Structure 1
C-alpha cells in the first residue's frame, strides 16, 4: 500500500496531460514531478512552478532541486532533504517540515507561514527574507536581529502593537546597537501610551545615531524624547497615535518601520 499513492498520482498526471487538461510547463519539469511522486528522490531536479499542494513527500531527497515558485502548501516534508535547494518564492504555507534539512537552501521570499519546523535544520539568519509568521518549532537561536525586527514591523503594520513590542524587545536583545529597533520599539510603545518608556527608547537611539555620525536624526529623536518627558501624560487615554506623531514631520515614521535585510515585504507567491 505504501507505493499506491505515488502510482495513482503518476497515472492521474499522465491522464490529465494526455487529454490536454494539464499541459506541463516543459517535459523535463513534468518528468521531474512524476519521478518525485513515484520515488521521492529527485536531486537537482527542475521543479520550478510545480503544483505539489498537500503532497506526501516525507523523507524525500530534494537536495539542490530547483523549486522556485513551486506550491508546496500543506505538503508533508518531514525528514526531507532540502539542502542546497532553491526555494525562492516557494509556498510552504502550512507545510510540515519536522526534522527536514534546509541547510544551504535559498529561502528568498519563501512563504513559511503556519509551517511546522520542529527539529528542522536551518542556517542561522536564513529566515530573514522569509514570511514565517505563525510558524511553529523555530529554534530561537536561529532567529537573528533582522528576522525579529521584520516580524515586529509586520505586527506593527497589522496593528498588533503588544506583539510588535515583544518582537522589537527580542531584536534589541540580539543587537543592542541597532538604533532602528530602539526607535521602532519607542514608536509602538508611544502608540500604547507608554510614554516614559518610549522617551527612554528615543533617547538611547539618539545616542546610537550620534555615535554613527547621523547627527540630524539624533537631534530629532532627542526632541521627540524631550516632548514625551515634558508631558508624560500625553496619550495616556489610549495612545491616540502619539508614538508616530512624536517622530513625525520631517523625519517621518515610515523610515523606522521598514523591514531590514532587503525583505521589503516581498510579495507572497500564492
Structure 2
C-alpha cells in the first residue's frame, strides 16, 4: 500500500478518541471549546458554566454530572449518557442529541432547538420545554407510559402532545383513556367528545360515532354510580371495556417529522 494511502487510512478510518490534553484542560479550567472528548468518563463531574462549544463528546459518560449553565452549543453528544445529569440553563443550541440518554435529567431552563429531543431518550426528565419535543415524540412517549400502566405520566404527555398539535384526535382519545383510568371520568368524557368532533370534521364518521357512544356510555355509568344503583363489578367491567374499545384509536404511534 502506498505510504500516502496508508496515512490517509490511519487518519480518517481510525475511530475518534479523546485527547488526553483536552481532558486535562477541561478538568483544570472548565473551558475547552472544540475539545475531543470521545468516550471519556465524566460521571459526577462538576462542569458548571463550562465552555464546551462544538466539543466532540460522542459516547461520553456524563451521568449525574453538573452542567448547569454550561455552553454545549454545537457539541456532538451522540449516544452520550447524561442520565440524571443537571442541565439547568445549559446552552444546547445546535447540539447533536442522536441517541443521547437524558433519562431523569434536569433540563429546567435548558436552551434547546425546536424538536431537539426527537431522537434522544428523555423518559423521566424534568423541566423540558414543549418546543423541544414534537407532537409525535410526546404522543409516542405517552403510549409507552400507558403500556406500562403509568397513567398519570401518560395523561401529562398526551396533554403536552395536544398543546403541540391541537387537531390530533388520537391524542385527545389517548388522554381521555388515561383520565378514565385515573378516575377523572368527566374530563375523560370531554376529551372523547372533543375527539369525536375532530374526527367528524375530517369525515371519519365511524370513529366519531364510536367516541360519541363511548362518551354516552361512560356518562351513564357515572350517573349510575352517583345514584347508588349498586352496579359494582358490572360498572367496573363497563369502564374497562370502554377503554379497551378505544385503544386502537389512541395507541397509534406517529413517525417523527424529518427535517433537512
Asked if TM exceeds 0.5, the reply is yes
* Residues 156 and 188 in structure 1, CA contact (< 8 A), matched pair in contact too: yes
Q: Which has the higher contact order (CA 8 A, sep 6+)?
A: 1
- Following superposition, the deviation at residue 221 of structure 1 comes to 4.6
* Residues 113 and 131 in structure 1, CA contact (< 8 A), matched pair in contact too: yes
Q: What is the SS of the residue equivalent to 1:29?
A: coil
Q: What is the SS of the residue equivalent to 2:236?
A: coil
User: What residue number does 1:54 align with?
Assistant: 44
CA shift in 2, pair 1:39/1:162, >3 Å: closer
User: What residue number does 1:233 align with?
Assistant: 221
Are residue 261 (structure 1) and residue 260 (structure 2) matched?
A: no
Give TM-score, length-normalised by structure 1. Answer: 0.68
- Following superposition, the deviation at residue 70 of structure 1 comes to 1.8
User: What residue number does 1:13 align with?
Assistant: none
User: What residue number does 1:15 align with?
Assistant: none
1:239-270, Cα deviation, whole Å (9 max, x unpaired): 7643442125xxx35743x366379xxxxxxx
User: Unmatched 5+ residue regions in structure 2?
Assistant: 1-13, 223-233
Are residue 242 (structure 1) and residue 208 (structure 2) matched?
A: no
Question: Distance in 1 between the 2:216 and 2:16 partners?
Answer: 68
Question: Distance in 1 between the 2:40 and 2:56 partners?
Answer: 10
- Following superposition, the deviation at residue 97 of structure 1 comes to 1.9
- Following superposition, the deviation at residue 181 of structure 1 comes to 0.9
Greater CA drift, 191-200 or 118-127: 191-200
Question: Distance in 2 between the 1:150 and 1:208 partners?
Answer: 20
Q: What is the SS of the residue equivalent to 1:59?
A: coil
CA shift in 2, pair 1:191/1:139, >3 Å: closer
CA shift in 2, pair 1:240/1:145, >3 Å: same
Question: Distance in 2 between the 1:136 and 1:182 partners?
Answer: 23
Number of positions where the alignment pairs a residue of Structure 1 with one of Structure 2: 232
User: What residue number does 1:220 align with?
Assistant: 207
Greater CA drift, 230-239 or 51-60: 230-239
User: What residue number does 2:55 align with?
Assistant: 65
1:130-167, Cα deviation, whole Å (9 max, x unpaired): 33344344456656645543443343222121332233
Match of 1:204 among 194, 198, 202: 194
User: Unmatched 5+ residue regions in structure 1?
Assistant: 1-24, 264-270
Match of 1:156 among 129, 136, 146: 146
Question: Distance in 1 between the 2:187 and 2:216 partners?
Answer: 10
1:212-259, Cα deviation, whole Å (9 max, x unpaired): 46x3xx5135224314524632874387643442125xxx35743x36
Question: Distance in 1 between the 2:74 and 2:90 partners?
Answer: 12
